[in-house]
Structure 1
Amino acid sequence: MALGISTLSRIMDSKLSHFSKTAGPGILFACTAIGVSHLVQSTRAGADYGLLILGFVVVVTLLKYPFFEYGSRYANSTQTSIIDGYKKLGKPALWLYFFITIASMFFVTGAVGFVTAGFFENLFGLDFLGEWTIIILFAVCVGILGIGKYHVLDSLIKIIAIVLLVSTVSAFLLSLYNGPIEPVAGFEPKDLWGVSGIFFLLALMGWMPTAVDLSSWNSLWTLERMKQTNYKPKLKETLFEFRLAYLITGILAIMFVTLGAFIFYGSGHELPNNNALFANEIVSLYTKTIGDWSYLIITASAFTVMFGTIIAVFDGYSRSLQRTIELIFTKKEEKIHTKFRTLYVVFLLVIATGSLVVIFQFGNNLKELVDFATVLSFIIAPIIAVFNFRLVTGKFLNKESQPSGILRILSFAGIIFLSGFAMIFLIMKFYS
């Protein structure tokens, strides 16, 4: 009996050790997703349309899943990023990915940075820095990544993310216990099937749980984690870590929609368009249900998660651009660390500058900037979805590494779903 317990203990210790070496890419993905799509878009969805929109959140999260997982699957199976795979599909595919990245990165980074600045101002009670808040924030991000100190923040993010996770679950359970608010007299719900409602639905789905083109980051982070730990996990270990993180992001999205619906829907209160005021409303959402004592904890946690998101966005775009440029303009593998670091830092500066221009162009209009970035991501999604599906179901992976039949069916459904709604948007935009 004792021998059996000892054996079981060794097996558990081994599994935990392997998981600790594998864990990282999924956590980065979750932190990236929990940012704007959850704190902003999911809360807005519940506040404006109630629980009616919950079904779309669940469906789009499910149908997008395969294309994110394929990034991790491809990296583990081939020991190369899925961006390398795009080159195998042909140079035009790689160039298309490059143009898609260039077209979206300033708007995506700008939207995330704008929201993060709002939580920063809310945390420290600042109302006088204005645009300098975002400039300072971007400078700090570029500085941290430029000198290679992201691993320090990464460790801190994991702790703060747990705090926000516990806080969100607590607020969700308490809101269920208290029930939804009573609608004010004369309350008229917004029409989800009107033009503005459908546009918002597309914006919500564009980043739920995040943009599909960011699936390439999963593969880059998976490879980076292997280098850090000098451990090559089995395919099932890599997929388990990612699936766990993805499941958590899906559950949290449902919670944020519910919180928005139970606390704001029917109140007659419109969530503010100013980024700092919006951040204050989000924090108030927690304190209304958990208690005023939690204000500072929630404020710090929300900002830190958003800060982790913006740094992950800077890192992801810079890494993907660096790898894309290498693949386009070099005929054979060239891995020169100094060359990589210089190019990486250059892209950090380019992304920061371009994103600031976008933010200044949109002014203080939080919703318009976020909606534009998220709708753009939704239009791009079908292209990347097809690329990823082809790479994991064709000749590029061995049979043992390819997805199951159920996942293939889900992929077909996802491609049809994403393509259909993208066409609806383009038709509505053309005729409106």
Structure 2
Amino acid sequence: MKQKLAHFLKSLGPGLLFASTCIGVSHLVQSTRAGALYGFGLLWAVMAANLFKYPFFEYASRYANATGTSIIDGYLRLGKWMLWLYAIVTLSTMFFVTAAVGAVTAGFFDNLFGISSSLGPGAVQYLLPILFVVCILILYVGQYKILDSLIKIVGAVLLLSTVVAFVLTLIKGPVSSQHQFFEPSILDPSSAGFAFAIALMGWMPTALDISSWTSLWTLERIKQTNFKPSLRETLREFNFGYIVSAILAPCFLLLGAYLLYGTGYSMPGNSAAFANGIIELFTQTMGDWSYLLIAASGFSIMFGTCIAVFDGYARTTERVATLLLQGDTANKSTASKTGSYHLSLLFVGVGAYIIIYFFGTSLKDLVDLATTISFIVAPIIALVNFRLVTGKYIDKDQQPSALMRWLSYIGIIFLLFFTIIYIVYY
């Protein structure tokens, strides 16, 4: 038992980073909005997305442990066309995703320190380049190590406060008695509810195209600790993070449903006002004394998420570029090369700020666009990840079980079904 715990702690990191990436926007923003707008009408979408997308995230960690390379290397093994396709998918989403996460983080920062009230509402837009520079500098200096340490601290604080707020909200009860667990109008492809459901599932628990990050972080953790866990230990660590994320998603939905649904209150589109609305949900149940604590932990988790997004996209960009330029002759090591990693960080930051410059800080539009793009490309990533762990690329004893395979089939059908409907109608 003692040895199992020691091994778990040595491998602990990638799963928590994954959970942080999920909680940052899909939970704090999208799940809360879902509850506020539709009560429990989209609970099925939250639960289904967490269940049916699970295998394809797990496969990235599985592949990294089994082969000692990232799943991005696996895409090249399928053919250079697949690596190019993944490069296009990454390029089409990463600036929108980073911009959306940055806008949310800036909103929580503004809420915590009252920047807008002192310098005017336009001040938030000037916070973003400062925020991006800070994230880049932190990763310049510490890379994975500082990111790993930061997430473990702030994630624990937010987890505890969310559970407390959830329990107190259950005890207090809903402000409205109009709740129902299924809203038929949401399934009408021409309705605003259907479009929102697609956006919600696009980042629930997070975008499927960033499953590659968990494989990169798994390999970086092995390098950092000089400890190679077994496949079971790697998957146990990933599952811990995934389960935490999956449990918190309906908690945030319930907070929005119990405290806002039926009141006529609409979550603001402005990032700072939205952040304030999220924090007030907690203080309504925990008391005014908790405002500063929740504001600080909310900003901290979003700041950690923002750093994780920069790190994930920089590592991805670096690895994709290396494989495209060098092909099969590329070094099998996926460790970050300092110069190209730093250049990739700058590339992500500049691109994301250009998106924000044109979109402004209209948080809801930015998030919905990023999440919808992620949902549309999800079936492609799901199919490829599944093929890499069920074919000739890893040993039979390291391949997923029959149950996981069946869950994968259902998941692929689920993703394809909603994607096709969305493409046809929109």
Q: Which TM-score band applies after superposition, normalised by the shorter structure?
A: over 0.9
Residue-by-residue CA offset, 1:130-163 (whole Å, 9 max, x unaligned):
3111110001011111223552353132122111
Residue-by-residue CA offset, 1:220-273 (whole Å, 9 max, x unaligned):
000000001111101000001111111110110010001100000001111101
Residue-by-residue CA offset, 1:90-119 (whole Å, 9 max, x unaligned):
110011011111111100101110111000
User: Conserved in 2, the CA contact under 8 Å of 1:43 and 1:256?
Assistant: yes
SS of residue paired to 1:51: coil
Measured at CA, do residues 292 and 370 of structure 1 come closer, stay the same or move farther in structure 2, by a change above 3 Å? same
User: Conserved in 2, the CA contact under 8 Å of 1:123 and 1:303?
Assistant: yes
Aligned to 2:128: 134
**How high is the TM-score relative to the length of structure 1?**
0.93
**How high is the TM-score relative to the length of structure 2?**
0.94
1:225 to 208, 221, 237: 221
- Give matches, 1:97-176, under 5 Å: 97-127=86-116, 128=119, 129-176=123-170
- Give matches, 1:15-414, under 5 Å: 15-127=4-116, 128=119, 129-182=123-176, 191-194=185-188, 195-331=191-327, 332-334=329-331, 340-414=337-411
Measured at CA, do residues 240 and 355 of structure 1 come closer, stay the same or move farther in structure 2, by a change above 3 Å? same
User: Conserved in 1, the CA contact under 8 Å of 2:124 and 2:272?
Assistant: no
Write the distance in 1 (CA, Å) between the matches of 2:143 and 2:385: 31
Deviates more, 1:327-336 or 1:373-382: 327-336
Residue-by-residue CA offset, 1:14-59 (whole Å, 9 max, x unaligned):
1111011110000100001000000000000000000111111101
**One-letter amino acid of the counterpart of residue 85, structure 2:** L
Write the distance in 1 (CA, Å) between the matches of 2:425 and 2:332: 47
User: Conserved in 1, the CA contact under 8 Å of 2:17 and 2:151?
Assistant: no
Deviates more, 1:379-388 or 1:124-133: 124-133
Measured at CA, do residues 235 and 209 of structure 1 come closer, stay the same or move farther in structure 2, by a change above 3 Å? same
Write the distance in 1 (CA, Å) between the matches of 2:374 and 2:131: 24
Write the distance in 1 (CA, Å) between the matches of 2:124 and 2:364: 18
Aligned to 1:4: none
**One-letter amino acid of the counterpart of residue 165, structure 2:** A
Structure 1 residue ranges, 4+ long, deviating more than 4 angstroms after superposition: 335-339
Write the distance in 1 (CA, Å) between the matches of 2:283 and 2:235: 36
Q: Which runs of 5+ in 1 are unaligned?
A: 1-11
**One-letter amino acid of the counterpart of residue 133, structure 1:** L
CA RMSD of aligned residues (A): 1.7
Residue-by-residue CA offset, 1:293-320 (whole Å, 9 max, x unaligned):
1111111101010011111111001101
Q: After TM superposition, give the deviation of residue 193 of structure 1 in Å.
A: 3.8
**One-letter amino acid of the counterpart of residue 235, structure 2:** L
- Rg larger in 1 or in 2? 1
Write the distance in 2 (CA, Å) between the matches of 1:284 and 1:130: 20
SS of residue paired to 2:175: coil
**One-letter amino acid of the counterpart of residue 297, structure 2:** S
Measured at CA, do residues 401 and 38 of structure 1 come closer, stay the same or move farther in structure 2, by a change above 3 Å? same
Write the distance in 1 (CA, Å) between the matches of 2:261 and 2:211: 33
Deviates more, 1:139-148 or 1:114-123: 139-148
User: Conserved in 2, the CA contact under 8 Å of 1:27 and 1:245?
Assistant: yes
Aligned to 1:3: none
**One-letter amino acid of the counterpart of residue 181, structure 1:** V
Deviates more, 1:417-426 or 1:189-198: 189-198
SS of residue paired to 1:142: helix
User: Conserved in 1, the CA contact under 8 Å of 2:24 and 2:301?
Assistant: yes
Write the distance in 2 (CA, Å) between the matches of 1:149 and 1:238: 21
Q: After TM superposition, give the deviation of residue 190 of structure 1 in Å.
A: 11
**One-letter amino acid of the counterpart of residue 377, structure 1:** S
Percent identity over the alignment is: 56
User: Conserved in 2, the CA contact under 8 Å of 1:49 and 1:192?
Assistant: no
User: Conserved in 2, the CA contact under 8 Å of 1:49 and 1:190?
Assistant: no
Q: Which runs of 5+ in 2 are unaligned?
A: none
**One-letter amino acid of the counterpart of residue 423, structure 2:** L
Write the distance in 1 (CA, Å) between the matches of 2:124 and 2:335: 36
User: Conserved in 2, the CA contact under 8 Å of 1:183 and 1:265?
Assistant: no
Measured at CA, do residues 51 and 309 of structure 1 come closer, stay the same or move farther in structure 2, by a change above 3 Å? same
Residue-by-residue CA offset, 1:327-356 (whole Å, 9 max, x unaligned):
111141348999921111111111111111
User: Conserved in 1, the CA contact under 8 Å of 2:144 and 2:220?
Assistant: no
User: Conserved in 2, the CA contact under 8 Å of 1:66 and 1:410?
Assistant: yes
